[in-house]
């Protein structure tokens, strides 16, 4: 009974009840309103008789009628007016003047239409709704001021945090679900222990850290690590994006921060995870409007909340960003985000472990070699590796197989690296021949180098990313350092395609554009960042901007130094080109044989290429 009564009372307090009652009052007022006067129609002669008898007080000409107001009120009730049709009477004005009658003329009034009634009703309803909104806003503002909630915007949900809460039962991610990030997991294991046993640390006087910042490129598993911490600790997990705090209403972001920490304090111990914290944590540079900038207010509230809560209650704030260089220093000081945990791109061992984790949920054929995929994907993130396995599964389904094969994995790797095959593209035989010699030029120079990176595959099938063909190389071992010789070898391989074009066809094409861009970037870094040029010396003339995103270079060189850098870059690339051209001239017969084979088959594996080269050498020796 009480529940039904409460439901009925909530129904009565609904704003729609207020609006419906207002509309009904308007309709009843319009329908049942009584007229303000009684009107009778008389003849023109009767009007003249009244005028002669002095019984007319005023006359109003309305369109083609005369509205006559008599002297006094003959009926003693409602006011009575008489109307009559006008006639052409040139003496009427003189008669009315002689009798002392007031007379005037006016525009005819339009009758009130249904549309007019509807518009008036809508206007009144909107006004009523605005009044109701303002009243509720004031009430919620007072209530919010008492309980420290979201202020005047709380009653309408503006101040409510958009954090998604994952309960203990739903947060099933554990550390064994995260691979390739051993160092990051080691740093987070202590946070798990703190959430489980905070007294263990406070007993020796240790201050419990309040937050940790996960820093790394996109797709490396920062959010997954945060969920794993919550899963290992067995505590609720609040997930929210930094952009969810920034709204057009000033004060909304700060109110949402207050509401988020209020929810977290009720669920403690728990974890708050703020993804892309750079959306609200940018450096304060004073460009806001008199301190009222919404982002700055939100940041200030976040700083205040992190200072205000008791870490012994078990609230841990984790945040993730791939732009740590733009964060405000106040956010990174000890006592707020105490720890900075790098989540880097995985190495070769890490890539293989990540593939194994994602392969658990896939049906794999016996003998599949995941290390082969890991070798071919240096610099790939965990998300990209997961995408490779997913594409391999899709390829298996398209070919009507019930398990993923090695061919599916190789095809998926090529798809992620270079895009899908574009077999419908029409290429003339002459252009296809140039492309074949171009790609074989890359591969032949790579194989002939000392400590060469093995060639995995050469193809002249166009790809959707714009490549007309490509040569895939795959390191068998992970290298932390790059020597001058390694970088010089990469330069020679990159310019070898253009060298093969000029050697065999005495021309050059636009197909080497991407090779030239990559060679130029390597040469510049060798000179301006790695100190591998005797003329420039050990000077850093370029600085990396956004290292976890596009790693763009910002030049710090003077105009004179920049000109010298370009001169040395040209020398370096020209030397690599001359070396590649020399290798191709010395192996012109091999270049022709391999190019013809590639034209015939469109694809060559590294093993096939080695067999063809061994056969050529045997026949030459015989």
In tens, the pLDDT along 320-332 reads 999 888 888 888 8
Quick one: pLDDT at residue 421? 78
Describe the crossing of helices 429-448 and 606-621 by its angle, rounded to 10 degrees: 80
Query: β-strands 552-555, 542-545: how paired?
Result: antiparallel
Q: What is the DSSP letter of 208?
A: P
Q: Decide if 439 is catalytic.
A: yes
CA dihedral 173, 177, 182, 186 (to 10 degrees): 30
- Beta-sheet strands, E only, within 302-359: 315-321, 337-342
b/e 219-233 (16+ beta carbons within 10 angstroms → b) = bbbbbbbbbbbbbbb
Q: Which two tokens stand for residue 400?
A: 């009507």
Quick one: pLDDT at residue 470? 86
Quick one: pLDDT at residue 422? 79
Of residues 368, 377, 371, 389, the one with CA closest to residue 346: 377
b/e 588-609 (16+ beta carbons within 10 angstroms → b) = eebbebbbebbbeeeebebebb
CA dihedral 87, 93, 96, 97 (to 10 degrees): 180
Residues of the chain with pLDDT below 70 are 1-37, 63, 73-79, 88-91, 94, 105-171, 247-251, 285-293, 311, 618-622
Rg (CA), the chain: 42
Quick one: pLDDT at residue 104? 72
Catalytic residue among 294, 414, 439, 568: 439
Residues in contact with 31: Cβ distance below 8 Å, sequence separation at least 6, in sequence order: none
Quick one: pLDDT at residue 571? 95
Of residues 575, 418, 595, the one with CA closest to residue 489: 575
Quick one: pLDDT at residue 394? 92
Quick one: pLDDT at residue 289? 44
Quick one: pLDDT at residue 290? 42
> Contact, 416 vs 388, CB < 8 A?
yes
């Amino acid at each position: 009974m009480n529940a039904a009564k409460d439901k009925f009372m909530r129904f009565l307090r609904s704003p729609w009840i207020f609006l419906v009652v207002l509309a009904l009052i308007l309709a009843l007022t319009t329908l049942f309103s009584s007229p303000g006067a009684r009107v009778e129609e008389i003849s023109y002669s009767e009007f003249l008789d009244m005028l002669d008898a002095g019984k007319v007080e005023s006359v109003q000409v309305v369109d083609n009628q005369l509205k006559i107001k008599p002297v006094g009120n003959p009926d003693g009730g409602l006011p009575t007016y008489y109307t009559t049709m006008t006639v052409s009477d040139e003496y009427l004005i003189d008669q009315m003047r002689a009798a002392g009658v007031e007379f005037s003329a006016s525009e005819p009034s339009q009758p009130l239409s249904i549309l007019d009634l509807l518009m008036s009703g809508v206007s009144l309803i909107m006004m009523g709704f605005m009044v109701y909104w303002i009243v509720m806003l004031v009430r919620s503002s007072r209530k919010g001021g008492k309980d420290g909630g979201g202020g005047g915007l709380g009653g309408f949900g503006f101040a409510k945090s958009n954090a998604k809460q994952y309960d203990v039962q739903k947060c099933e991610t554990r550390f064994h679900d995260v691979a390739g990030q051993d160092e990051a997991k080691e740093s987070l294991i202590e946070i798990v222990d703190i959430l489980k046993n905070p007294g263990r640390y406070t007993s020796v006087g240790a201050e419990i850290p309040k937050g940790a910042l996960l820093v790394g490129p996109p797709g490396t598993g920062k959010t997954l690590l945060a969920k794993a911490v919550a899963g290992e600790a067995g505590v609720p997990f609040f997930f929210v994006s930094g952009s969810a705090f920034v709204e057009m209403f000033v004060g909304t972001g700060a109110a949402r921060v207050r509401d988020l920490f209020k929810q977290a304090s009720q669920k403690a111990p728990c974890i708050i995870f703020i993804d892309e914290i750079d959306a609200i944590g940018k450096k304060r540079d004073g460009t806001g409007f008199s301190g009222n900038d919404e982002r700055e207010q939100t940041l200030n509230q976040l700083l205040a909340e992190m200072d205000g809560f008791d870490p012994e209650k078990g609230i841990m704030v984790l945040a993730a960003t791939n732009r740590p260089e733009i964060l405000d220093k106040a956010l990174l000081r000890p006592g707020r985000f105490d720890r900075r945990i790098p989540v880097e791109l995985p190495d070769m061992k890490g890539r293989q472990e990540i593939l194994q984790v994602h392969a658990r949920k896939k049906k794999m054929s016996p003998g599949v070699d995941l290390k082969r995929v890991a070798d071919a994907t240096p610099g790939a993130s965990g998300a990209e590796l997961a995408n490779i396995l997913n594409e391999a599964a899709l390829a298996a389904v398209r070919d009507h197989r019930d398990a993923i094969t090695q061919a599916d994995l190789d095809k998926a790797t090529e798809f992620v690296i270079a895009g899908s095959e574009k077999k419908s593209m029409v290429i003339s035989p002459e252009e296809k021949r140039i492309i074949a010699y171009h790609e074989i030029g890359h591969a032949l120079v790579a194989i002939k180098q000392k400590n060469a990176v093995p060639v995995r595959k050469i193809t002249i099938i166009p790809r959707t990313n714009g490549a007309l063909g490509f040569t895939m190389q795959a390191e068998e071992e992970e290298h932390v350092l790059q020597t001058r010789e390694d970088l010089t070898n990469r330069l020679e391989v990159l310019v070898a395609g253009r060298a093969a074009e000029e050697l065999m066809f005495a021309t050059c094409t636009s197909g080497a554009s991407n090779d030239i861009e990559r060679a130029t970037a390597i040469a510049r870094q060798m000179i301006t960042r790695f100190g591998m040029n005797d003329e420039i010396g050990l000077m850093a003339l370029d600085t990396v901007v956004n290292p976890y995103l596009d790693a763009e270079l910002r030049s710090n060189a003077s105009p004179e130094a920049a000109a010298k850098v370009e001169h040395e870059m040209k020398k370096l690339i020209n030397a690599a080109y001359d070396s590649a051209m020399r290798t191709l001239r010395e192996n012109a017969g091999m270049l022709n044989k391999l190019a013809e084979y590639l034209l015939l088959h469109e694809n060559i594996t590294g093993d096939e290429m080695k067999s063809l080269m061994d056969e050529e050498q045997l026949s030459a020796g015989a």
